[in-house]
Amino acid sequence: MENTVTSTVNRRYTSYVAVGDSFTEGMCDDLRPDGHYLGWAGRVAARLAAEQPEGGGFRYANLAVRGKLIGQIHDEQVPGAAAMGGELITLAGGLNDVLRPKCDVDRVEDLLGRSATALLASGATVVLFTSTDPSRRLAGSARLLPAILRMKAFVEGLAAAHPGVAVVDLYSAPCFDDRRLWAEDRLHLSPEGHRRVAEAVLEALGRPAGFDWRAPLPPVAAPGRFEKLRSDLRWLGTHLGPWIGRRLTGRSSGDGRPPKQAELAPYEG
């Protein structure tokens, strides 16, 4: 599926609210001077702010918090986002649910659909996402694919039913199979990955292409067997082990963490 562009999204926006989990918080992107990650959402905000006429102003909020499940996004972020009156809202969530062993996909779809409907009712253009396919780059992740494909079809159905919804289709972009688009933890985007997602969002909003975000990176030599083994062992100990530990104890990396931009305020770059 190509990124969906409807008559309601090819317009100038003066305000943008981002809703979601670590994907939207921008984890593992470059750090801003305030210590927060820039993230693809911040990159989108910068581009939209640059479109404003002199003195026009642009407002931005990012309510996303790492580790949040779709129920938490629906309950904790969506009402506030809808009340802010932002003209553009991006909504990404549900993958943290899918990563868990016992995921109720029907419930995830219901909460995502209700979240999108509430945001649309506020008058905003809503941007949704399909997930990349982890099975093409992460061993042992093929079990996630049925749920990811169901979510993909659900998101595309929402866009077909609502003219105010645009879809950024990351699933169909093989460039995200490249590990260089992912951080060392293999779960979050690298700066180059965030740059490409930002460009994909802007394309979905009808902006002229800054570059081909789907293009593959230049080829590089594959790591040797022992280098790959060292990398895998480091990943197991540094990232996968702690992640499993949090799941077993019911903790989240986002527990007690506030949104990085809780108010719809003038964009400062």
Domain ranges of the chain: 15-214+259-266
CATH 3.40.50.1110 fits domain 15-214+259-266? yes
**Mean of the per-residue pLDDT values for the chain?**
89
Which residue is listed with tokens 């990085």?
260
* Count of other CB atoms within 10 angstroms of residue 215: 10
Long-range contacts of 80-85 (CB under 8 A, 24+ apart): 81/17, 81/19, 81/119, 81/122, 82/118, 82/119, 82/121, 82/122, 82/124, 83/122, 84/15, 84/17, 84/264, 85/15, 85/122, 85/123, 85/124, 85/264
pLDDT at 243: 57
pLDDT-based confidence at residue 139 (cuts at 50, 70, 90)? confident
Q: What is the tens place of the pLDDT at every residue in 121-138?
A: 999 999 999 999 998 887
pLDDT at 230 over 90: no
pLDDT at 6 over 50: no
Q: Which amino acid is at 131?
A: S
pTM of the predicted model as reported, rounded to 2 decimal places: 0.88
Angle at the Cα of 203 from the Cα atoms of 202 and 206, rounded to 5 degrees: 95
Report residue 144 CA to chain centroid gap. 17
What percent of the residues of the chain are helix, what percent strand, and what percent coil, each to the nearest 5?
Answer: 45, 15, 40
pLDDT at 1 over 60: no
Report residue 82 CA to chain centroid gap. 18
Section 217-239 average pLDDT: 69
pLDDT-based confidence at residue 7 (cuts at 50, 70, 90)? very low
pLDDT at 3: 45
Percent of the chain scored above 70 by pLDDT? Answer: 85
pLDDT at 180: 94
CB-CB contact of 174 with 162 (8 Å): no
CA distance 171 to 187: 15
